[in-house]
């Protein structure tokens, strides 16, 4: 891990007025790098035992559990699932032919509106549906 990222994380946790000596920055960087290498090594061994060449996020999480970092397994699994859901939603939204790339997102409750029809003919239909867990929705109007 780069020293810049280590310093950024240290400053995020410490009070704003705290000073960090260079030796502390280097020591934390070495510890973080060693921890990452330790976890990756265990995950890599798991892949090797299963005759796989590609390391997955699940391998990393499993390795953390194996190495005794059980407190991190559940939160990381939840976080990984949230990221995957967002990716699926983003991809689905990009594939929808009716959605413009500059769609306006508004925090609303999902709803479907069909205006009154004349003899079964709807001049337009508006469909609003959720695109992520925060209740952000995209509104699409179809003109006929």
| Class at the top of the CATH hierarchy for domain 1-95 | mainly alpha
Q: Taking the complete model, does pTM exceed 0.85, yes or no?
A: no
pLDDT for res 92: 73
Give the dihedral sign, CA 73/75/76/81: positive
With 80 as the cut, is the pLDDT of residue 13 above it?
A: yes
Domain extent listing, the chain: 1-95, 97-144
Spell out the SS3 assignment of the chain: CCHHHHHHHHHHHCCCCCCCCHHHHHHHHHHHHHHHHHHHHHHHHHHHHCCCCCCCHHHHHHHHHHCCCHHHHHHHHHHHHHHHHHHHHHHHHHHCCCCCCCCCEEECCCEEECCCCECCECCEEEEEEECCCCCEEEEEEEEC
pLDDT of 42-90, one tens digit each? 999 999 999 999 999 999 999 999 999 999 999 999 999 999 888 888 8
pLDDT of 87-131, one tens digit each? 888 877 776 655 555 555 555 454 444 444 444 444 444 444 555
């Amino acid at each position: 891990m780069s020293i810049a990222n280590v310093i950024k994380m240290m400053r995020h946790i410490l009070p704003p007025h705290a000073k960090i000596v260079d030796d502390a920055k280097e020591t934390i960087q070495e510890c973080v790098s060693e921890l990452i290498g330790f976890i990756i090594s265990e995950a890599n061994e798991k892949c090797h035992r299963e005759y796989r060449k590609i390391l997955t996020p699940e391998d990393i999480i499993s390795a953390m559990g194996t190495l005794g970092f059980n407190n991190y397994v559940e939160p990381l699994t939840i976080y990984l699932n949230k990221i995957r859901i967002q990716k699926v939603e983003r991809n689905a939204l990009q594939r929808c032919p009716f959605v413009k790339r500059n769609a306006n997102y508004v925090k609303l409750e999902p709803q479907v509106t069909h205006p009154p029809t004349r003899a079964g003919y709807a001049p337009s239909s508006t469909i609003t549906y959720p695109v992520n867990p925060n209740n952000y929705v995209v509104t699409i109007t179809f003109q006929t």
